[in-house]
Amino acid sequence: MTKLTKVLAAAFAASCLAGPTFATERDPSLDGTVYFMLPNFTTVRYVQKDGPDFVAAMKKYAPNIKVELVNGESNPGQQQAQAEAAITAGAKAIVLTAADPSLASSILFAADKAKVPLIAYEHEASGGPLTYYTGFGALKAGQAQGKNAVAALSDGNAIPVARLYGNKGDFWQRATKQGQDESLDPLIKAGKIKIVCEDYVPNWNPSEAQRLIEQCLTKTNGDVAAIVASNDGTAEGALAALVSQGLAGKVKILGGCDANVTTLQNILLGLQNGTVLKDYSTLADDAARLVVATLQHKPLESGVVNGEFDNGFAKVPAAFADVTMIDKSNVGDVVKAGVWTWKEICTGPAAKTAECAAHAAD
Amino acid sequence: MSSAQASPLPQSSVRAPFVSRAAALLAGDWRYVPIATAIVLIWAFFAVQNPAYLSPRNLSNLCLQSVVTGMLALGLVPVLLIGQIDMSVAAMSAVAATIAGQLLLVEHVSVWLAIGAGVLFGGCVGFLQGRWITWTGTPAFLVTFGVSLALAALQLFLLPVTGQINLYGTDIVVLAGAYLPAGLSWAIGLLAAIVFAVFRLSAFMEARNASLEVNARTVVLPTVLVLIGLAVVVGALNMHNGVPVALLLFVVPIIVLTYVGSHTRFGLYLYATGGNPSAVARAGIDVDRIRIAAFVICGMFAAFGGIVGASRLLGVSAQSSGMGTLLLEAITAAVVGGTSLFGGRGSPWSALFGALAIASISNGIDLLGLGTEVKLATQGLVLVLATSVDSVAHKFANDTR
């Protein structure tokens, strides 16, 4: 790096700190195209939130970089082809949310070979070289769900509990279950709760979750006191099963993850206990900063990278974000985090709750 | 009955008396015997594993679990009858549910208007698909598959920024969430049995007036069977929550379509188009119009099924609606129930029996907690088995002809 570019880079860094309006001076390292590879259309947040948030963050830090969003449509094979196309098209960097984190190593090696920096986003892409990792970590969500369940169940005796895991064998299912087990296993051993049904939900599909809970109620003749669901979609399916059997509000729904609007409404209505919030916008912002720093070959400002992630191939510097447990008392945190607005949450029957009435003017 | 009109079997009776007589029976009055036997065997198998399987609660579950797949299968029946296929039904169900949900929650239209708009959309897309297929001659498989991808995209476009529609507490929930009062169910059941008897009787009188050899048994026996069947179903469901409204919304269209298939000119042409399109065309009938109509019916039922599904799940999202194995289940249901993939043979009732058989299997697997791998394997094998039986029957019918 010549002295001149160093000066330019420093000037650019200063302009970034001063604000986006000064960033118009062209930095040659901040040109070209960055690819954000989304995993699927089924997890609402990636298309609706992470994608647009990342585009906005990149515009703030590097307005001359074009961001291309591509979607792997839940298909690791298709995502690999998209990654190869991006590398061929001269991608400056790739931000990858792997369609299947355990099947992403070919993408990681392809990017490494072409010297394209690759940042793993949220999904813990394993088995290959990475530049950075940024995400919440699925284990953390499971741990939060486990603690939430324990708080609701610890003073009982052989409480019948149904557990809904995610898609069998996928990465999040394993990590989430592992996190939940840390808290639930001691309760099971102590005889405080009894697992009466445990099922994997194919593709995390709410309709499948609904049918599994209907069958659990058949098996136990309606004797289920609580359901621990691994994400919000499956919790919503479980609730639909309870509603059609007239058990809504009588059987506790614990766990949950993603802070879906439907789930937040159910929490306000007292139909579900809580959910795990991941504040996506901080993640997109972290990812954009990591990309810019990588392209400029300059060290990151302190505070972004706060840990290390071992993906089985190497230990990678990581920017971990925190999860928050949301229940009826702190739904406002979701609004504060900018994930949804009160207007979006307060529709339908939820609009009549006290929380929504208090924020009617927001 | 309807399928006799297109049955390719009669001439072969001299050559292979036993086989062809059995085939003729299976194509006629006995055509539901194999699927009914299969359902009884499935029920027996799971009931032995877990007696809760035949509890009123589970039979109620089973009804609701069959209805959505069944409605999609019902729509597929006319399309299969004309020897075509519609791969867009699952995606269509998702889009129609999204349209109805958005109209209901965002535009605050009445629930009936929202449902009507969704079903109308299904009919329109069905019309365009049918028109395109008949006009260009492109295989329906490809056109409808392409359209299904476009529909999936349309759903993502139509969904609100939150990515999902919450229908909890809205009026649309009655579609799948309401149950009939016990007395009303008994009255409807009785009425249905009487109407059935009247139809059998009029068919009997017609045949006798035409000096055909008939037996009064063809009226009494089926009527008694239907009466017993209805009594068992209504009685069992009344022991839980009652007869689900959704079941009525499924069975009534089946009866209407069966009547259309067997008592109207359109029905006659529908079966004939599948059996021998060139003969129908030579008879001066507009084959394209029949084909387009089949796709319109299919689109409308797919849309309605999707709306009922959303009502059952209390919501719509890209993840829940039209995803997974719904499309394959719907096709399997129609074929398992006895509607041929080769056209000309089948009945709307095949949607009910087929959907019930398939739901019975996944219901039992879920009850026993056997897991995804067993479910996927079973669904796949049932599809292969059912389509193979259909293909062998088709081959046999052609060989003996």
Q: Where are the domains of chain A?
A: 3-130+279-322, 139-277
B319 vs A265: CB contact, 8 Å cut-off? no
Q: What global pTM score does this model have?
A: 0.83
If asked whether residues B373 and B272 sit together in one domain, one would say yes
Model pLDDT, residue A19: 44
If asked whether residues B134 and B164 sit together in one domain, one would say yes
B317 vs A340: CB contact, 8 Å cut-off? no
If asked whether residues B79 and B196 sit together in one domain, one would say no
Mean local confidence (pLDDT), B113-127: 98
Lowest mean pLDDT, pick from A109-118, A119-128, B203-212, B242-251:
B203-212
Model pLDDT, residue B24: 65
Model pLDDT, residue B28: 63
Question: CA-nearest residue of chain A to B174?
Answer: A244
Lowest mean pLDDT, pick from A6-10, A169-173, B238-242:
A6-10
- Nearest Cβ partner for B156 among A47, A233, A344: A47
Short-list B88, B244, B114, B122, CA closest to B167 = B114
Q: Is residue B226 assigned to a domain?
A: yes
- Nearest Cβ partner for B166 among A205, A245, A348: A348
Cα–Cα dist A268/A219, whole Å? 30
Range of the structural domain that residue B226 is part of: 179-243
Model pLDDT, residue B277: 87
Residue found under tokens 């296993």: A185
CATH of domain A3-130+279-322: 3.40.50.2300
Model pLDDT, residue A25: 57
If asked whether residues B149 and B65 sit together in one domain, one would say yes
Alpha carbon of A216: minimum distance to chain B alpha carbons (Å)? 7
From chain A, pick out residues whose CB is under 8 angstroms from the CB of B50: 219
Query: What is the H or E stretch that residue A161 is in?
Result: strand A159-165
Q: Best of A219, A224, A280 to disrupt the B interface by mutation (most B CBs within 10 Å)?
A: A219
Alpha carbon of A200: minimum distance to chain B alpha carbons (Å)? 7
B161 vs A344: CB contact, 8 Å cut-off? yes
If asked whether residues B126 and B222 sit together in one domain, one would say no
Model pLDDT, residue B16: 57
Q: Is residue B52 assigned to a domain?
A: yes
A214 vs B61: CB contact, 8 Å cut-off? yes
If asked whether residues B162 and B276 sit together in one domain, one would say yes
If asked whether residues B216 and B281 sit together in one domain, one would say no
Model pLDDT, residue B6: 44
From chain B, pick out residues whose CB is under 8 angstroms from the CB of A45: 163
The torsion region of residue A19 among left (phi > 0), alpha (psi -120 to 50) and beta comes to left
Q: Is residue B212 assigned to a domain?
A: yes
Mean local confidence (pLDDT), B295-319: 94
Q: Is residue B20 assigned to a domain?
A: no
- Nearest Cβ partner for A48 among B161, B173, B241: B161
Q: Which of B228, B243, B258 is the last residue of a domain?
A: B243
Confidence band for B317, pLDDT divided at 50, 70 and 90: confident
A91, A37 Cβ separation under 8 angstroms:
no
Q: Provide the β-strand partners of residue A315.
A: A310
- Nearest Cβ partner for B313 among A43, A240, A246: A240
B176 vs A244: CB contact, 8 Å cut-off? yes
Alpha carbon of B317: minimum distance to chain A alpha carbons (Å)? 8
| In chain A, % of residues over pLDDT 90 | 64
Q: Provide the β-strand partners of residue A93.
A: A34
- pLDDT higher than 70, residue B22: no
Q: Provide the β-strand partners of residue A199.
A: A164
Question: CA-nearest residue of chain B to A266?
Answer: B168
If asked whether residues B160 and B262 sit together in one domain, one would say yes
- pLDDT higher than 90, residue B112: yes
Cα–Cα dist A153/A194, whole Å? 11
Short-list A81, A66, A74, A65, CA closest to A47 = A74
Alpha carbon of A212: minimum distance to chain B alpha carbons (Å)? 6
Question: CA torsion sign, A198 to B381 to B247 to B185?
Answer: negative
Tell me the ipTM for this assembly: 0.85
B64, B356 Cβ separation under 8 angstroms:
no
A221 vs B375: CB contact, 8 Å cut-off? no
If asked whether residues B205 and B164 sit together in one domain, one would say no
Short-list A249, A199, A189, CA closest to A220 = A199
Question: CA-nearest residue of chain A to B312?
Answer: A240
Q: Is residue B326 assigned to a domain?
A: yes
Q: What is the pLDDT of residues B320-358, one digit of tens each?
A: 766 678 998 999 999 999 899 988 889 999 999 999 999
Confidence band for B20, pLDDT divided at 50, 70 and 90: low
From chain B, pick out residues whose CB is under 8 angstroms from the CB of A240: 312-315
Q: Which of B191, B209, B243 is the last residue of a domain?
A: B243
Mean local confidence (pLDDT), A25-47: 84
Q: Is residue B4 assigned to a domain?
A: no
A215 vs B367: CB contact, 8 Å cut-off? yes
If asked whether residues B192 and B286 sit together in one domain, one would say no
If asked whether residues B277 and B214 sit together in one domain, one would say no
The count of structural domains within chain B is 2
If asked whether residues B221 and B284 sit together in one domain, one would say no
Contact status of A191 with chain B (Cβ, < 8 Å)? no
B376 vs A202: CB contact, 8 Å cut-off? yes
Q: Is residue B199 assigned to a domain?
A: yes
Q: Is residue B162 assigned to a domain?
A: yes
Tell me the C-alpha to C-alpha distance, in Å, between residue B255 and each of A174, A249, A335, A339, B258.
48, 38, 51, 49, 5
Residue found under tokens 């359109």: B266
- pLDDT higher than 50, residue B1: no
Structural fold of domain A139-277:
Rossmann fold (3.40.50)
Do the strands A93-96 and A323-327 form a parallel or antiparallel pair, or are they unpaired? unpaired
Alpha carbon of A19: minimum distance to chain B alpha carbons (Å)? 29
B270, B78 Cβ separation under 8 angstroms:
yes
Alpha carbon of A236: minimum distance to chain B alpha carbons (Å)? 8
Residues A116-154, buried b or exposed e (16+ Cβ, 10 A)?
Answer: bbbbbbbbbbbbbebbbbbbbbbbbbbbbbbbbbbebbe
Q: Which of B225, B243, B261 is the last residue of a domain?
A: B243
B313, A207 Cβ separation under 8 angstroms:
yes
